[in-house]
Amino acid sequence: MALKQKVTCFILVTHRIIRENKIFYATCPELEVSSQGHTIEKADKNLMEAVLCYLDTIEELGIREEVFRQKNIVLYKSKENAEDTKIDTAIVPGEFITANSIPIAC
């Protein structure tokens, strides 16, 4: 019997980073995950780590499909399809917004 190979899908999330005083606060609104750092790069890196931890946790708990359905997270079959999707980039003064496609097993 052949083992099923896991297929890689992608989700698209946004990182919104704002500065308040000397700290940069980063949020991923789609997953309701946040982090911070003393630079934009550190805040973004910390947010990505928090997002990956969140995704690992909901996978381990077996609730990923339910969470994605509740949060309207779409699985894309290719990175290009995920990155072609438009995101809300309404500019707020002092806010930095990036879109990130994250590979996950599906």
Owner of token pair 């003393």? 38
- pLDDT tens track for 26-69: 999 999 999 999 999 999 999 999 999 999 999 999 999 999 99
CA distance 85 to 54: 22
Amino acid at 67: V
- pLDDT tens-digit profile of 74-102? 998 887 776 666 666 556 667 888 888 89
Measure CA of the first residue to CA of the last residue in the chain; give whole Å.
20
